């Protein structure tokens, strides 16, 4: 029996580990995705970038033609909204588990944001669709979720703020107030992904609706704001290492006396933290899945470079120059492979835990993946850039933009330090149990030693 085509783009060993967790539908969908990725998406990546105008105005008004063409093909093949599991979203989801999507997202990660968008599986829309599917009213779902699920519009999640340390969401100052049958929003946000896209029609805005509430986690609410509502002002796109990521962008936005109907409140007053926790869990792990694919692609590029006959100098391949350099290149390749394999297992375990206990029951696994995987991927890409020399830093190779995106993930959805702190605190909670078991073991050891006629000195 021929191996599943996915093994050519991932690890045969890890596939053997999880193959029995895939349904027949999952295996067949994964096979279709692999073929579509290789035959349609990868050959179109450079064209997609070329179709973004250089003009500083037009690049923010452009809908990339080849991505729209890929969307039509993907939907016909049933490769659409794969991130949304029917287990958790029976009305809107597809019959895939998180662990099945984990492998698919790794494949998509090899093609950058273009691959995910072609399948309607790109951030921030994925998280926003989950919010609306889980917490949205029927009216909100009909107006905003259905068009998002159909890929007719795009969206933004407006949380991070300028001038405050918004990695602690309790610091958010954007004002959300009720005035009669309306909600009034005033605030200054930035790094709002997707806000520059001409197809973006809706922002999900988080702000402070009850600043005097004794419970700091009940002070925030989330409100639906149409992108064209009066008072919504996109100030500028933010750049990451010089990349503006047009047409989606990561924008600075001011909401000035923006008024929306009371019916645009999501879930209820003071439910903002509940919403973002439900949103961020799966979204964080999706980023990690794609990061592993990006790292794998970077390693492939590195191996191609150091074994390229056209890059020989003095009659030798790049990896053959001098015993020390030879060993260094081989070691860096081996280290990259080992780190990718380790990170993949970490992400697969987190995805499986989400399937069993939803995101809330997988916070430890998600937190570990969130700070381990982007660091790993940055390291692998950095080694590939080194192998390419100056070209690896330039626009002629995809490694520099890949690194910029991966480096961003060490801050997006919370910086590494926040996740490390949370994981460490969870570990410390195990201390009482560890002390208890150690005391019990000591008693048993003493009894065993006493029975053997040996006096314990501990």
Whether the CB-CB separation of 287 and 414 falls below 8 Å is answered with no
Q: Strand 250-261 vs strand 232-237: parallel, antiparallel, or unpaired?
A: antiparallel
CA 37, 40, 46, 47 dihedral sign is negative
Mean pLDDT score, 213-238: 97
Mean pLDDT score, 4-30: 96
- Mean per-residue pLDDT over the chain, rounded: 94
Q: What is the pLDDT of residue 319?
A: 80
Rounded Cα distance between 257 and 450, Å, is 78
Rounded Cα distance between 95 and 85, Å, is 6
Rounded Cα distance between 320 and 328, Å, is 10
Q: What is the pLDDT of residue 446?
A: 92
Rounded Cα distance between 290 and 104, Å, is 9
Q: What is the pLDDT of residue 455?
A: 84
| CB neighbour list of residue 438: distance below 8 Å, 6 or more residues apart | none
Give the phi and the psi of residue 150 in degrees, each rounded to 5: -85, -5
Query: Rounded to a whole number, what is the largest CA-CA distance in the chain?
Result: 87
Q: In the numeric block, which tokens belong to residue 322?
A: 């001098």
Whether the CB-CB separation of 189 and 158 falls below 8 Å is answered with yes
* pLDDT digits 0-9 by tens, 119-145: 999 999 999 999 999 999 999 999 999
Strands of 160-309 (E only): list them. 175-179, 182-193, 200-208, 220-226, 232-237, 250-261
pLDDT bucket at 283, cuts 50 / 70 / 90? low
Cβ atoms < 10 Å from Cβ of 339: 20
Rounded Cα distance between 5 and 10, Å, is 9
Gyration radius from the chain CA atoms: 25
Q: Between the ranges 63-77, 264-278, 413-427, where is the mean pLDDT highest?
A: 63-77
Cβ atoms < 10 Å from Cβ of 389: 12
Check pLDDT > 80 for residue 451: yes
Rounded Cα distance between 445 and 348, Å, is 39
Q: What is the pLDDT of residue 285?
A: 83
Q: What is the pLDDT of residue 394?
A: 94
Kindly state the percentage of the chain with pLDDT values over 70: 98
What string of DSSP letters covers 137-195? -HHHIIIIIHHHHTTS-EEEEE--BTTS-TTSGGG---EEEEETTEEEEEEEEEEEETT
Q: In the numeric block, which tokens belong to residue 352?
A: 């499986």
- DSSP lists the bridge partners of residue 221 as 207
Residue with tokens 């995705």: 33
Mean pLDDT score, 109-117: 96
Q: Name the residue among 230, 229, 228, 248 with its Cα closest to residue 238.
A: 248
| CB neighbour list of residue 294: distance below 8 Å, 6 or more residues apart | 109, 110, 112, 377, 381, 402, 405, 406
Check pLDDT > 80 for residue 429: yes
Q: Name the residue among 204, 210, 193, 194 with its Cα closest to residue 229.
A: 204
Q: What is the pLDDT of residue 18?
A: 96
Q: In the numeric block, which tokens belong to residue 389?
A: 């020399």
Q: What is the pLDDT of residue 133?
A: 95
Check pLDDT > 60 for residue 326: no
Could you give the domains of the chain?
Answer: 5-150 (1.10.540.10), 154-266 (2.40.110.10), 274-422 (1.20.140.10)
Q: What is the pLDDT of residue 297?
A: 98
Residue with tokens 């890059």: 311
Whether the CB-CB separation of 44 and 66 falls below 8 Å is answered with yes
Q: What is the pLDDT of residue 127?
A: 92
* pLDDT digits 0-9 by tens, 381-413: 999 999 999 999 999 999 999 999 999 999 988
Rounded Cα distance between 236 and 259, Å, is 22
- DSSP lists the bridge partners of residue 260 as 183
Q: What is the pLDDT of residue 363?
A: 87
Q: Which residue has the higher pLDDT, 257 or 284?
A: 257
Mean pLDDT score, 300-321: 88
pLDDT bucket at 214, cuts 50 / 70 / 90? very high
Whether the CB-CB separation of 221 and 177 falls below 8 Å is answered with no
Cβ atoms < 10 Å from Cβ of 341: 16
Q: What is the pLDDT of residue 358?
A: 78
Whether the CB-CB separation of 23 and 217 falls below 8 Å is answered with no
Mean pLDDT score, 412-423: 90
Query: How far does Cα 345 stand from its chain's mean position?
Result: 17
pLDDT bucket at 221, cuts 50 / 70 / 90? very high
CA 168, 209, 153, 138 dihedral sign is positive
pLDDT bucket at 210, cuts 50 / 70 / 90? very high
Q: Strand, helix or coil at 233? A: strand
State the DSSP code for 425.
Answer: H
* pLDDT digits 0-9 by tens, 24-83: 999 999 999 999 999 999 999 999 999 999 999 999 999 999 999 999 999 999 999 999
Q: What is the pLDDT of residue 282?
A: 66
Q: Which of 22-36, 69-83, 216-230, 412-426 has the lowest mean pLDDT?
A: 412-426
Angle at which helix 399-409 crosses helix 363-388, to 10 degrees, equals 150
Mean pLDDT score, 226-232: 98
Element (H, E) at 366: helix 363-388
């Amino acid at each position: 029996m021929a191996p599943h085509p996915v093994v050519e783009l991932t690890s045969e060993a890890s596939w053997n580990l999880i193959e029995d967790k895939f349904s027949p539908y999952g295996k067949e969908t994964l096979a279709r995705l692999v073929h579509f990725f290789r035959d349609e998406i990868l050959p179109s990546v450079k064209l997609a970038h070329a179709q973004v105008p250089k003009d500083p105005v037009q690049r923010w008004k452009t809908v990339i033609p080849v991505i729209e063409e890929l969307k039509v093909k993907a939907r016909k093949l049933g490769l659409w909204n794969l991130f949304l599991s029917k287990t958790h979203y029976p009305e809107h989801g597809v019959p895939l588990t998180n662990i099945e999507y984990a492998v698919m997202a790794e494949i998509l990660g090899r093609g950058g944001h273009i691959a995910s968008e072609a399948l309607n599986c790109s951030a921030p829309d994925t998280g926003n669709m989950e919010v609306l599917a889980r917490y949205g009213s029927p009216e909100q779902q009909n107006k905003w979720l259905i068009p998002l699920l159909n890929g007719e519009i795009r969206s933004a999640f407006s949380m991070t703020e300028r001038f405050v340390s918004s990695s602690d969401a309790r610091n958010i100052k954007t004002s959300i107030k009720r005035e009669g049958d309306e909600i009034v929003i005033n605030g200054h946000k930035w790094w709002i992904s997707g806000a520059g896209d001409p197809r973006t029609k809706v922002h999900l805005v988080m702000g402070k609706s009850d600043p005097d509430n004794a419970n700091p986690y009940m002070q925030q609410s989330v409100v639906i704001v149409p992108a064209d509502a009066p008072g919504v002002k996109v100030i500028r796109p933010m750049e990451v290492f010089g990349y503006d990521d047009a047409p989606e962008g990561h924008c600075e936005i001011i909401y000035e006396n923006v008024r929306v109907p009371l019916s645009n409140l999501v879930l209820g007053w003071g439910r903002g933290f509940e919403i973002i926790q439900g949103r961020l869990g799966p979204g964080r792990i999706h980023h990690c899945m794609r990061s592993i694919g990006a790292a794998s692609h970077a390693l492939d590029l590195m191996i191609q470079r150091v074994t390229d006959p056209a890059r020989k100098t003095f009659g030798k391949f790049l990896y053959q120059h001098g015993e020390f350099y030879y060993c260094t290149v081989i070691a860096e390749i081996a280290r990259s492979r080992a780190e990718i394999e380790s990170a993949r297992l970490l992400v697969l375990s987190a995805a499986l835990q989400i399937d069993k206990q939803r995101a809330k029951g997988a916070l430890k696994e998600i937190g570990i993946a969130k700070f381990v995987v982007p660091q790993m991927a940055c390291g692998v890409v950095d080694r590939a850039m080194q192998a390419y020399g100056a070209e690896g830093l330039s626009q002629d190779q995809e490694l520099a933009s890949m690194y910029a995106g991966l480096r961003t993930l060490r801050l997006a959805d919370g910086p590494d330090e926040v996740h490390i702190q949370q994981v460490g605190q969870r570990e410390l909670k195990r201390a009482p149990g560890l002390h208890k078991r150690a005391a019990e073991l000591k008693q048993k050891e003493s009894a065993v030693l006493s029975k053997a006629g040996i006096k314990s000195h501990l």
